[in-house]
């Protein structure tokens, strides 16, 4: 995972035209690891296919 995430960051930065300095990588990677973990935690809850997203939320 460690090395593959390094490669992912490198490729994503290239695809998105984001200039990344080498010394920024550890912090970007640490942040991405946390955000991916949290994103997967959310995604692991099974919801019906018909569940509507709430992109513009109305309370």
Partner 1 sequence: MNAWATSGEIAQAVRGGQASAVAIAEAALARIAERDGRINSFTAVTRERALAKAQALDAARARGEPLGALAGVPFAVKNLFDVAGLATLAGSKINREHAPATADATLIARLEAAGAVLVGALNMGEYAYDFTGENVHDGPSRNPHDTSRMTGGSSGGCGGAVAGGLVPIALGSDTNGSIRVPASLCGLFGLKPTYGRLSRARTFPFVASLDHLGPLARSTRDLALAYDAMQGHDADDPVCARRSIEPALPCLARGTAGLRIAVAGGYFKRGAFAQALQAVDRIAKALDTTHVVELPEAARARAAAYVITATEGAALHLDRLRTRADDFDPTVRDRLLAGAMLPASLVVKAHKFRRWYRDQVAKIFDRVDAILAPATPCTAPELGQKMLVLDGVAMPLRPNIGLYTQPISFIGLPVVAVPVPLGPLPIGVQIIAAPWREDVALRIAQALETAAVVQAPRPQQWKDA
Q: Which positions touch partner 1 (CB under 8 A)?
A: 8-9, 12-13, 16-21, 24, 27-29, 31-32, 34-36, 38-43, 45, 47, 51-59
Q: Are 5 and 28 in contact (CB under 8 A)?
A: no
**What is the smallest separation between the CB atom of 33 and partner 1, expressed in angstroms?**
8
Q: Which two three-digit tokens encode residue 16?
A: 């998105």
Closest contact distance (angstroms) between CB of 55 and partner 1 is 5
Question: In which element (H, E) is residue 4 found?
Answer: helix 2-15
- Say if CB 19 and CB 3 are below 8 A apart: no
CB of 37 vs partner 1, minimal distance in Å: 8
């Amino acid at each position: 995972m460690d090395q593959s995430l390094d490669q992912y960051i490198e490729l994503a930065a290239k695809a998105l035209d984001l200039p990344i300095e080498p010394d920024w990588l550890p912090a970007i990677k640490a942040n991405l690891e946390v955000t991916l973990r949290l994103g997967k935690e959310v995604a692991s809850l099974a919801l019906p296919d018909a569940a509507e997203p709430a992109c513009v939320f109305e309370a």
